[in-house]
Amino acid sequence: MNIIDELEWRGAINQQTDAEGLRELTEQKSISLYCGVDPTGDSMHIGHLIPFIMLKRFQLAGHRPVILIGGATGTIGDPSGRQSERSLQTLEQVQANVDALTAQMKKLFITEGDNQIRLVNNYDWTHKINVIEFLRDYGKNFSINAMLAKDVVASRLESGISFTEFSYQILQSLDFLHLYRHEDVQLQIGGSDQWGNITSGLDLIRKKEGPEAKAFGLTIPLMLKADGTKFGKTAGGAVWLDPNKTTPFEFYQFWANTDDRDVVKYLKYFTFLSKEQIDELAVKVETEPHKREAQKMLAEEMTRFVHGEELLEQAKRITAALFTGDIKSLTADEIEQGFKEMPTYEATKEAKNIVDWLVELGIEPSKRQAREDITKGAISMNGERVSELDLEVTADLAIGGRFIIIRKGKKNYSLVKLS
């Protein structure tokens, strides 16, 4: 399957500047292509992954991807998709973010001895250009009329846009020209909001290199969930790739909880499973949706890709323990991940009667209710049912000396931290 055919089957193409020409080029030779990300933060979230996974697909098809970290454009601010100006970051903060994203990209996409994916930073060539060169050699090639007509600018004219953000498309165009000249890059890919920036780059290449220059642009569709809401957002915010921002368990659960209406689309977009494997899972979504096999496969593939085999197994252990109630099989660190969003209470390590302890913490509203729930077998501690009203709660009962998990009824969990 030609790489363009594969992307079309996966539903991953939104717009192309020259679909026929790009298909012909990718059939003729191995091409270089790029996608960029600005260091607006110290971690990518799952929405950022989509175009870079496309780069990886091109690599697997024998092409040569370039990942661009926007050390220069990150200091300016991309107006795409925004209704107001970005707050400028300090140069020190931008550099810290560049370092963090570079490490993240290397971990995700570059294996040892792999020289097929290259990492570049646009600061390396942009900082050498002085303001006179910028205006004479590049600014002269951009029509204000055309720049104002770009959706990203036109949508901001009423609320206002600074010259800084207005000039962003020139800087991104410079990137495409530089990579075309020095890295033989002939294709830029990006999100649908990057169409204006990509076409500006193509215009600059043809003005500088001649109208016959073979360069192309391709965007991916805006990802929406079946209910019409934006992909990648949860009640708690974005789903980050940094395990310190979104734990591997939370990451796994995000994918495992995918709606039946979305799961096949996500398998196509995000995983490297074959068409045959995905078609088979699609049938199971239709015939055996209760087994959620497609969701489990999606969660496993994505957690393995981002966090590795060890943290995938940890996420699966936590998931299994929560399902079976086998809490004691988890370590203290796994408890911290799995119960992060559950009601949390603080307790001292002083020994106390179970009834008094539950009431003082606020897990039970009264001693009468606590005694009644214990007598009925409705209270479990660390996965084991509490049956004695005179049980003494001590630090020895805590997992890792730190946590006690109380379950009231079938699903009401509470995390108690001992200090």
Q: What is the CATH number of the domain that holds 308?
A: 1.10.240.10
The answer to whether the annotation marks 266 as part of a ligand binding site is no
The answer to whether the annotation marks 168 as part of a ligand binding site is yes
Q: Considering only CA atoms, which of 327, 285, 341, 337 is closest in space to residue 307?
A: 337
Are both 52 and 199 inside the same structural domain? yes
Query: Could you say which of 323, 350, 372 is where a domain stops?
Result: 323
Which two structure tokens, joined as six digits, stand for 82? 């925004």
* DSSP type of residue 393: E
Report pLDDT for 314. 92
* DSSP type of residue 79: -
* DSSP type of residue 323: H
Are both 135 and 186 inside the same structural domain? yes
* DSSP type of residue 230: B
Number of domains observed in the structure of the chain: 3
Whole-model pTM: value is 0.85
Are both 317 and 360 inside the same structural domain? no
Query: Which amino acid, one-letter code, is at 368?
Result: R
Report pLDDT for 115. 59
- Tell me whether residue 328 is in a domain: no
Q: What is the CATH number of the domain that holds 177?
A: 3.40.50.620
**Could you tell me which residues come within 8 angstroms of residue 398 by beta carbon, excluding any fewer than 6 positions away?**
349, 404, 418
Report pLDDT for 321. 85
The answer to whether the annotation marks 345 as part of a ligand binding site is no
Are both 44 and 96 inside the same structural domain? yes
Are both 203 and 243 inside the same structural domain? no
Query: Could you say which of 323, 352, 385 is where a domain stops?
Result: 323
- Tell me whether residue 135 is in a domain: yes
- Tell me whether residue 337 is in a domain: no
3-class secondary-structure state, position 40: coil
Are both 43 and 95 inside the same structural domain? yes
| Cα 54 from Cα 7, distance rounded (Å) | 8
| Cα 43 from Cα 384, distance rounded (Å) | 39
The answer to whether the annotation marks 34 as part of a ligand binding site is yes
- Tell me whether residue 101 is in a domain: yes
Q: What single string gives the DSSP state of each residue in 85-112?
A: PPPPPPHHHHHHHHHHHHHHHHHHH--T
Are both 146 and 251 inside the same structural domain? no
Report pLDDT for 214. 94
| Domain encompassing residue 153 | 1-218
C-beta neighbour count of 412 within 10 angstroms: 12
Dihedrals φ, ψ of 310, to 5°? -65, -45
Are both 287 and 367 inside the same structural domain? no
Are both 241 and 98 inside the same structural domain? no
Report pLDDT for 235. 62
Report pLDDT for 228. 82
Are both 56 and 201 inside the same structural domain? yes
Residue length, the chain? 419
What average pLDDT values come out for the chain (419 residues) when binned by 10 residues? 91 94 94 94 91 91 93 86 79 94 90 74 94 93 88 82 89 96 96 91 95 94 84 77 92 94 95 95 95 96 95 92 82 85 87 92 92 92 89 89 88 86
